[in-house]
Amino acid sequence: MPRIIKHPELRREELLDHAQALFLTHGYDRASLNDVIAAAGISKGAFYHYFASKEALLEALAERFARQALAGVQDVLRDPALDPLGRLNALLAKSRQAKVETAAEAWALFETMFRPENLVLFHRINLAASAAFSPLLVEIIRQGVEDGTFRTFDPEGVADIVMQFGMATHDVIAKAFAGGSDADMDIAIETLERRVRLYEIALDRILGLPDGSIRIGEPGYVRAVMTARRANPSVGTDARPSKNR
């Protein structure tokens, strides 16, 4: 039978599908590159044509999550009934909803980022999210400046600050995971809830808005995302890094 040649982008997406399934089932550390290659039914040489490493696979999965999240907010961006403040809050609300709905799966894939040895990987994955969402934030903020809703001289800088909020919570989450107890998690949730309120006030001030205008969080949001980590049995296990990376 003739050999089936697939389009490179289709093959790449299939590799991501296999990697995601294995990481979800076994955990990122327990699933090796050899496992991914075997599941995909390709050679090592073919795999390395698409991804340089296991970490590169995880980065690509993060980029795919970001693209999917981006697709989920297009209705907000195109809604003519929303003013810039309404559009920004609607974008943040959509982001919260997506994080809650995908939290268990996301933790299974990305919890490894919060280990001390993976800080560089954490920053690289956050850059993928920033690349997807910063242009949207800049566009909304510019619209708000033009119509007088927002008061800032640097829309790009404000967008960068918003994207930095997630990176600023790294140490709080990492400490909770390292502790591992319910008490550690409760402390982390309380800390994150305070941080969210602080970030909301900071963003209001930066944009020249009354306090309470921007809603990054909502009651129960942080707890829903953080405790979803326990929903997947592979998350939080004593997984050791695989030798076949």
In the block, tokens 């809050």 appear at 89
What is the C-alpha to C-alpha distance for residues 42 and 152, in angstroms, rounded to an integer?
Answer: 52
* pLDDT score for 196: 93
User: In a 3-state reduction of DSSP, which class is residue 234?
Assistant: coil
The span from the first CA to the last CA of the chain, in angstroms, equals: 33
Q: Which contacts qualify for 191-200: CB closer than 8 Å, 24 or more apart?
A: 192/222, 192/226, 193/217, 193/222, 193/223, 195/165, 195/168, 195/169, 196/221, 196/222, 199/165
Q: How many CB atoms lie within 10 A of CB 80?
A: 4
Q: What does the angle CA 211 – CA 215 – CA 216 come to, to the nearest 5 degrees?
A: 120
What is the C-alpha to C-alpha distance for residues 110 and 227, in angstroms, rounded to an integer?
Answer: 15
Range list of β-strands (E), the chain: none
What is the C-alpha to C-alpha distance for residues 228 and 105, in angstroms, rounded to an integer?
Answer: 9
What is the C-alpha to C-alpha distance for residues 209 and 203, in angstroms, rounded to an integer?
Answer: 8
* pLDDT score for 156: 96
The amino acid occupying position 226 is M
Closest-CA residue to 110 (of 56, 61, 145): 61
Contact 147/84 with Cβ under 8 angstroms?
yes
Q: What is the pTM of this model?
A: 0.78
* pLDDT score for 183: 92
Q: How many CB atoms lie within 10 A of CB 120?
A: 10
Q: What is the pLDDT along the chain (245 residues), one digit of tens a residue?
A: 445 556 678 889 999 999 988 888 887 888 889 999 999 888 999 999 999 998 898 888 888 888 888 887 888 878 889 999 999 999 999 889 888 988 888 888 788 888 887 888 788 888 888 888 899 999 999 999 999 999 999 999 999 998 888 788 888 998 888 888 889 999 999 999 999 999 999 999 999 999 999 999 999 999 999 998 765 544 444 444 444 44
Contact 32/245 with Cβ under 8 angstroms?
yes
